[in-house]
Each structure stands twice: as structure tokens, then as C-alpha cells.
Amino acid sequence: MTAKLLEKSPIKYSLTRAVSCLVPSTLLNDHAVSESRMSAVIDILYETNNITAVVADKAKGQFSALAVAAKSDLNTKFKNFCRQTDRLDNFYYDVLGNNTEASELFSVVKMILILSHGNATVESGFSVNGSILVENLHEQSVVAQRLAYDSVTAAGGITSVNIDKSMMNYVRSSRGRYMDELKRKRDEQSAEDRKRQERKRAAEAI
């Protein structure tokens, strides 16, 4: 049974073992190990054509700079990271997200953190789309409903949505925007009809 578990375990992949370079405590206490593991991650991403050689070289240098910063400027952040309560993606966004000089490293970090999530979010999104689809529903309507659904979910539910003055003003003027959209579509349809007639006349003339 143990052999079968090990056979199916993702730990057998070198990439899975190497992504531990992002563990803040490892980066703080043993930056040499973290750098070697990050180097392995970047090499794998480059060999699989997920990043270019330029991004790979820059990301390695930027990770070395991050390891130095973890001992100095960012020491408090790395020490205070708690794996039970803090999210790793939020942590690295705070550290790297707004740093333009580490954009290549941040792109690599995002690739690494996405790996463990699989397709759960995508598949749940398909089921949500299936529940809101009805006959004769335009693409823009589907997009609008998904935006509303995702926003309410992100807010924590219908009862947690903050209905402020700007939202009420936006809803009050929705009828006007709807009529403007209908007029725009009629104009587009008329223009398309004219083009179709011109093509037809040209074909008849030929």
C-alpha cells in the first residue's frame, strides 16, 4: 500500500520537491538551499517552454536578491509568516507584486502556486455556467451574470454585499444604458445590412 501511495504521489516529481524553495522559513534560514531549488524549478520551466531564457536568467538573479532582502529589509515579514493562518500567494504578492524590478520572479512564483490548485476552480465555473444558461441568452448576458455571481461570492454572500450610493445611482441609470445599447446594436445591424447589399450588387454586376 505504501509503495502504491508513493507511486501516485506528486512528491516523486523533481518539480514538486523543488517548489519548497518558496517556503519563507527555508528562504530565511537557508537561502543556499532555497536558491538551488529555485534554480531547479526555473530550469524545469525553461525546458518545458513555459518561460524564456531571458526570464529564467532574470528570475534567478531576482530570487538571489530576495534571499538577501529576507535577511535584512524583509526580515520581519518572513519571520512573522504563519503557515496556519497566512496564505502564501498573499504573502508573495505583498513582497513581489508591486516590485517592478522583480516582475520575472513574480511570474515564476505565480506559475508555481497555480500548480497545486488543479482544475477545481475551472470545473466549478463550468457548473455555474450550466446553471445560469437559458435559451436565447446572449454571450454578454452570460458574462454579466458571471460577473455578478463572482462579485457576490467574493463579498461573502448576498447579505454581505455593500449597497452604497454609487451602486444605487448606477442601477437608476441602467434603463438608459439599455436603450443606448439597443440603439448601438440596431446601428450595427443597419451597417451590416448595407454592406451585405453592396456586396450583393457588386456580385450581380460582376
Residue 1 lies in a domain: no
- Asked whether residue 72 falls in the same domain as residue 31, the answer is yes
Residue 45 lies in a domain: yes
- Asked whether residue 133 falls in the same domain as residue 94, the answer is no
- Asked whether residue 35 falls in the same domain as residue 88, the answer is yes
- pLDDT at position 134: 56
- Asked whether residue 15 falls in the same domain as residue 81, the answer is yes
- Asked whether residue 187 falls in the same domain as residue 98, the answer is no
- pLDDT at position 58: 92
pTM over 0.75: no
- Asked whether residue 109 falls in the same domain as residue 130, the answer is no
- Asked whether residue 97 falls in the same domain as residue 14, the answer is yes
Cα–Cα nearest to 108, from 165, 166, 40: 40
Distance CA(33)–CA(39), nearest Å, equals 10
- Asked whether residue 58 falls in the same domain as residue 127, the answer is no
Residue 79 lies in a domain: yes
- Asked whether residue 67 falls in the same domain as residue 126, the answer is no
Write the CB contacts of 16 (distance below 8 Å, at least 6 apart in sequence).
10
Residue 141 lies in a domain: yes
- pLDDT at position 57: 92
- pLDDT at position 61: 92
Residue 34 identity: S
Q: Please give the span between the terminal C-alpha atoms of the chain, in angstroms, as a whole number.
A: 77
Residue 2 lies in a domain: no
C-alpha cell at 129: 455556467
Residue 108 lies in a domain: yes
Q: Which helix (H) or strand (E) holds 80?
A: helix 75-80
Write the CB contacts of 146 (distance below 8 Å, at least 6 apart in sequence).
125, 128, 129, 132
Residue 88 lies in a domain: yes
Domain count, the chain: 3
Residue 93 CB burial class (10 angstroms; 0-12, 13-18, ≥19) = middle
Residue 168 domain boundaries: 164-206
pLDDT above 70: residue 9: yes
Residue 92 CB burial class (10 angstroms; 0-12, 13-18, ≥19) = buried
| 139-170 pLDDT tens trace | 777 778 878 888 888 888 888 888 888 888 88
Residue 4 lies in a domain: no
- pLDDT at position 122: 47
Write the CB contacts of 154 (distance below 8 Å, at least 6 apart in sequence).
none
- Asked whether residue 132 falls in the same domain as residue 109, the answer is no
- Asked whether residue 68 falls in the same domain as residue 108, the answer is yes
Distance CA(7)–CA(118), nearest Å, equals 19
- Asked whether residue 67 falls in the same domain as residue 98, the answer is yes
124 or 163, which is more confident: 163
